Amino acid sequence: MTVLERLTALLERDFGIPKASLDADATLESLDIDSLRLIEIVFAVEEEFKVAMPQDQGEIRGRVKTLGDLAELIGELAAK
C-alpha cells in the first residue's frame, strides 16, 4: 500500500471521511478539516506511520493544503 492509500484508509476508519471523497487533490478545506481536526489527524498519523510531524502547527498548515501534500510529508519523514 502507498502512503496515500494508508492515509485514506486511516481517515475513513478513524475519522469517518468516506473514501470516495479522498484523492490526492482533495483539499483539507473541502474535507472540512479545520485546525483542531488537523491536530487529531496529525496525532493519528504519528501513531500509524511512526513519524514525528513538525511541532509547529503553522509549518504543517503552510506545507499541507491537500491530502497529497500530507502523504508526501509523511513519506519524507518516514524516509528519514
Q: Which residues bind other proteins (CB under 8 A)?
A: 34-36, 39, 42-43, 55-61
Q: Helix (H, G, I), strand (E, B), or coil: what is residue 27?
A: strand
| Angle, vertex CA 16, rays to CA 39 and CA 36, nearest 5 | 20
- For the bound state, the minimum distance from the C-beta of residue 63 to other proteins, rounded and expressed in Å, comes to 13
CB nearer other proteins, residue 39 or residue 78: 39
CA 66 from centre of chain: 8
Least Å from the CB of residue 70 to other proteins: 15
Which of 68, 74, 76 lies closest to 22, judged by CA?
A: 68
Question: Looking at beta carbons only, is 1 or 55 nearer to other proteins?
Answer: 55
User: In terms of residues, how long is the chain?
Assistant: 80
CB nearer to other proteins: give 20 or 50.
Answer: 50
Closest approach of other proteins to the CB of residue 45, in Å: 12
